[in-house]
């Protein structure tokens, strides 16, 4: 597998340099976005390199960018692949070379089906300044139009170099905090303290608000005493200090009541918009003395998650399109939390109080019946994800698939032979067949006659079967299912936003909440689950996958009680993605029918060798024979 990958990489790289071999100059540009910015020293930043074909069609490009490695560190975007790589863009279909050495970034990319016309992202660079660097930047290697030994943009039909101008990136750095303010203000009751007693009728209420990042927004503070609100500007509301620490004094109208409990509620925001609230009581009358009863044994803490049992249908079963779904959920300890139930069927979400959901039983044993809003798909699988917690906070999640009997669907396979149906009876004699073949073969161009008409068609089919072979070599879900272990103690699950199907092979990166430093990386398993071997705490989580968007969010992990449910949307924006999705559909069709293409090609190549015994016809015969053997084995393994 490694040798095949290296051969493929070398061939494509040679093809790219061949495309840009012509030195005629056209209009086109590379430029940094933003080209200038003021950044914080030592913080992780990202800039984008754009490619603009200026209305021309381009199927390849290569770029070389230099920088000062003593001032800037380029961060690795792929922690699995050896070396350092930048983030590929969406300008071209294949990024065949991506490498960063100290001071130099080199990227080469190309498209084999479809062209780039307009503006698109070539690559993204994540970097941070080193030490006390105050300014630095990135320079694109460009010596002038037509020079193919520097950075280039290849025009599709002429292979001309379109690049005529570049815009480099230059950035200044200043000191500051890399951490976004996500922490709300701290509220402290100075006088009286919580549960204080004997507070007199003329006492003032003193509260301290502090925030060591963006600072407290004094105009957002609301102090409510026994139902009466006090804000900045109201009578009885006074404050001293600065946004970092305010001392607020409230003089209640009418004083503090005696003999009854008083309640004080404080709400505030910082200048970054983070909200905080706190409540306390004081002057609470003493409770009557109660003679203690017999000591009860301590209650054991519930640490076992609920058990989800799909009863009808079960995972992998065949169902009718109008089937209702029955699920049993049990928890013998704290009981099932009914309000936590989420059912996602083919991207549609239902809860326990949805009109389509009915249930019976008690918190230790619930039975749910889901009557979907619409019929189940008649020609594809359905996916159901069940998420639930018990009353102690332990969570469970389970995804099952089911659908129709696919063997009863109409046969859409391509027939093994693509031979045209004759409109008249074939000649009986072999001599007549040869004469007809030779007469048809004369219509071919002179440089194709030596191959023969069937051989020429077979060669075209070979290109399609190569596409099928390349697509079969990249079956991420199958490889994940065969060679990776499941995440049996998941922190969360990633699913596709529009369909509700689990997203396998998504990259989940765990970072420090305070410094955004990398901690651990996880890849979602066949059921979209990811997990990390880290203690409870607050973290930043970045989730991404090619062909999807990406998300970054703060999470709080609590052992056995917290599962994050993350949706990823398919990236279908822009004309480039529309073309790419159409290409993917064509490749999926070829992938499905690859054995039919190979069988037809084998028949045609044998016929071609019988009439024109050339080396090309023999090689095509051997190619299709090997392809049927290997492709059939891969199809069997995948099934």
pLDDT, tens digit, for every residue of 476-534?
A: 555 555 555 567 778 888 888 777 778 888 899 999 988 889 999 998 887 888 888 88
In the chain, what percentage of residues exceed pLDDT 70? 77
3-state secondary structure of 600: helix
Residue 432's CB: how many other CB atoms inside 10 A?
11
- Domain contains 419: no
Residues 373-390 have pLDDT tens digits of 888 888 888 888 898 898
Q: Do 63 and 160 sit in the same domain of this protein?
A: yes
- Domain contains 291: no
Q: Do 370 and 268 sit in the same domain of this protein?
A: no
CATH number at residue 57: 2.60.40.680
Q: Using CA atoms, how far apart are residues 564 and 140, in angstroms rounded to an integer?
A: 42
Write down which residue in 174, 197, 225 finishes a domain.
174
Q: Do 205 and 277 sit in the same domain of this protein?
A: yes
Strand 205-210 to 245-250 pairing: antiparallel
Query: Is the distance from CB of 57 to CB of 133 less than 8 angstroms?
Result: no
Q: Do 142 and 36 sit in the same domain of this protein?
A: yes
CATH number at residue 260: 2.60.40.1220
Q: How confident is the model at residue 290 (pLDDT cuts 50, 70, 90)?
A: low
Write down which residue in 174, 200, 227 finishes a domain.
174
Q: Do 252 and 395 sit in the same domain of this protein?
A: no
- Domain contains 623: yes
CATH number at residue 561: 2.60.40.1120
What's the structural domain count of the chain? 5
Q: Do 565 and 581 sit in the same domain of this protein?
A: no
Q: Using CA atoms, how far apart are residues 387 and 454, in angstroms rounded to an integer?
A: 57
- Domain contains 421: no
- Domain contains 420: no
Residue 412's CB: how many other CB atoms inside 10 A?
9
Task: List, in order, residues 6 or more apart from 609 with CB less than 8 Å away.
Answer: 455, 617, 618, 621
- Domain contains 290: no
Q: Do 243 and 258 sit in the same domain of this protein?
A: yes
Q: Do 590 and 557 sit in the same domain of this protein?
A: no
What is the pLDDT at residue 553? 86
Least confident of 123-132, 142-151, 429-438: 429-438
Q: How confident is the model at residue 465 (pLDDT cuts 50, 70, 90)?
A: low
Query: Is the distance from CB of 327 to CB of 310 less than 8 angstroms?
Result: yes
**Short-list 534, 599, 600, 595, CA closest to 562:** 534
For residues 578-604, give the mean pLDDT: 74
Q: Using CA atoms, how far apart are residues 452 and 438, in angstroms rounded to an integer?
A: 9
User: Across the strands, what pairs with 369?
Assistant: 326, 358
Least confident of 147-161, 214-228, 425-439, 577-591: 425-439
Going across the sheet that includes 216-225, the strands are 228-231, 216-225, 262-270, 275-282
Q: Please, where are the H alpha helices in 393-531? A: 430-441, 453-472, 476-483
Q: Do 498 and 618 sit in the same domain of this protein?
A: no
Q: Using CA atoms, how far apart are residues 335 and 366, in angstroms rounded to an integer?
A: 10
What is the pLDDT at residue 584? 67
What is the pLDDT at residue 439? 54
Q: How many helices (H) and strands (E) does the chain have?
A: 7, 36
Residue of higher predicted confidence among 137 and 602: 137
- Domain contains 349: yes
What is the pLDDT at residue 320? 85
Q: Do 591 and 452 sit in the same domain of this protein?
A: yes
For residues 263-291, give the mean pLDDT: 87
Residue of higher predicted confidence among 64 and 590: 64
pLDDT over 80 at 545, yes or no: yes
Q: Do 136 and 106 sit in the same domain of this protein?
A: yes
Q: How confident is the model at residue 576 (pLDDT cuts 50, 70, 90)?
A: low
- Domain contains 479: no
For residues 358-369, give the mean pLDDT: 92
Q: Using CA atoms, how far apart are residues 354 and 368, in angstroms rounded to an integer?
A: 12
Q: How confident is the model at residue 27 (pLDDT cuts 50, 70, 90)?
A: confident
Q: What is the pTM of this model?
A: 0.34
What is the pLDDT at residue 223? 95
Q: Do 128 and 82 sit in the same domain of this protein?
A: yes
**For the chain, the helix, strand and coil percentages under 3-state DSSP, each to the nearest 5:** 20, 35, 45
Q: Using CA atoms, how far apart are residues 213 and 206, in angstroms rounded to an integer?
A: 23
Write down which residue in 282, 299, 322 finishes a domain.
282
Domain hosting 321: range is 307-407
What is the pLDDT at residue 427? 42
């Amino acid at each position: 597998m490694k040798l095949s990958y290296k051969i493929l990489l070398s061939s494509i790289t040679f093809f790219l340099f061949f495309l840009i071999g012509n030195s005629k100059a056209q209009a086109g540009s590379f430029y940094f976005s933003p080209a200038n910015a003021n950044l914080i020293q030592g913080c992780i930043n990202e800039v984008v390199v754009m490619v603009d074909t200026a209305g021309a069609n381009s199927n390849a490009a290569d770029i070389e960018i230099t920088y000062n490695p003593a001032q800037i560190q380029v961060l690795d975007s792929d922690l699995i692949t050896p070396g350092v790589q930048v983030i590929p863009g969406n300008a071209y279909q294949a990024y065949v070379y991506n490498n960063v050495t100290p001071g130099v970034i080199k990227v080469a990319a190309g498209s084999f089906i479809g062209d780039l016309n307009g503006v698109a992202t070539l690559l993204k660079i994540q970097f941070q300044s080193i030490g006390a660097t105050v300014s630095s930047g990135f320079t694109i290697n460009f010596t002038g139009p037509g020079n193919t030994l520097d950075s280039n943009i290849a025009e599709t039909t002429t292979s001309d170099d379109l690049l005529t101008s570049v815009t480099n990136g230059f950035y200044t750095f200043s000191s500051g905090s890399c951490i976004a303010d996500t922490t709300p203000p701290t509220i402290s009751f100075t006088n009286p303290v919580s549960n204080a007693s004997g507070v007199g009728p003329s006492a003032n209420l003193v509260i301290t608000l502090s925030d060591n990042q963006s600072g407290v927004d004094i105009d957002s503070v609301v102090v409510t005493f026994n139902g009466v609100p006090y804000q900045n500007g109201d009578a009885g509301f006074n404050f001293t200090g600065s946004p970092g620490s305010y001392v607020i004094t409230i003089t209640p109208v009418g004083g503090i009541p005696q003999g009854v409990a008083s309640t004080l509620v404080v709400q505030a925001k910082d200048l970054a918009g983070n909200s905080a609230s706190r409540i306390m009581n004081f002057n609470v009358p003493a409770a009557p003395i109660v003679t203690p009863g017999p000591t009860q044994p301590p209650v054991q803490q519930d640490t076992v998650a609920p058990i989800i049992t799909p009863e009808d249908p079960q995972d992998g079963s065949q169902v009718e399109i109008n089937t209702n779904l029955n699920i049993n959920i049990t928890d013998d300890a704290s009981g099932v939390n009914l309000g936590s139930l989420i059912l996602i069927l083919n991207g549609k979400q239902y809860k326990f109080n949805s009109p389509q959901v009915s249930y019976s039983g008690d918190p230790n044993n619930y039975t749910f019946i889901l009557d979907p809003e619409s019929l189940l798909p008649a020609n594809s699988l359905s996916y159901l994800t069940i998420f639930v917690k018990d009353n102690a906070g332990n969570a469970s999640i389970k995804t099952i698939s089911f659908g129709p009997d696919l063997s009863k669907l109409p046969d859409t396979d391509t027939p093994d032979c693509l031979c045209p149906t004759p409109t008249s009876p074939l000649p009986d004699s072999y001599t007549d067949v040869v004469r007809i073949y030779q007469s048809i073969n004369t219509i071919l161009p002179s440089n194709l006659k030596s191959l023969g008409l069937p051989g020429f068609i077979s060669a075209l089919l070979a290109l399609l079967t190569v596409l099928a072979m390349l697509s079969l070599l990249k079956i991420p879900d199958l490889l994940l299912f065969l060679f990776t272990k499941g995440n049996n103690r998941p922190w969360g699950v990633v699913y596709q936003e529009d369909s509700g199907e689990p997203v396998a092979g998504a990259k989940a990166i765990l970072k420090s909440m305070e410094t955004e430093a990398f901690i651990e990386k996880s890849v979602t398993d066949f059921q979209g689950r990811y997990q990390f071997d880290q203690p409870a705490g607050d973290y930043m989580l970045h989730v991404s996958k090619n062909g999807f968007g990406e998300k970054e969010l703060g999470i709080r992990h609590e052992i056995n009680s917290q599962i994050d449910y993350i949706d990823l949307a398919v990236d279908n924006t822009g004309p480039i993605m529309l073309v790419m999705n159409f290409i993917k559909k064509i490749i999926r069709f070829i992938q499905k029918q690859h054995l039919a293409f190979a069988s037809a090609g084998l028949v045609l190549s044998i016929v071609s060798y019988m009439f024109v015994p050339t080396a090309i016809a023999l090689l095509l015969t051997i190619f299709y024979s090997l392809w049927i053997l290997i492709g059939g084995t891969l199809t069997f393994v995948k099934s």
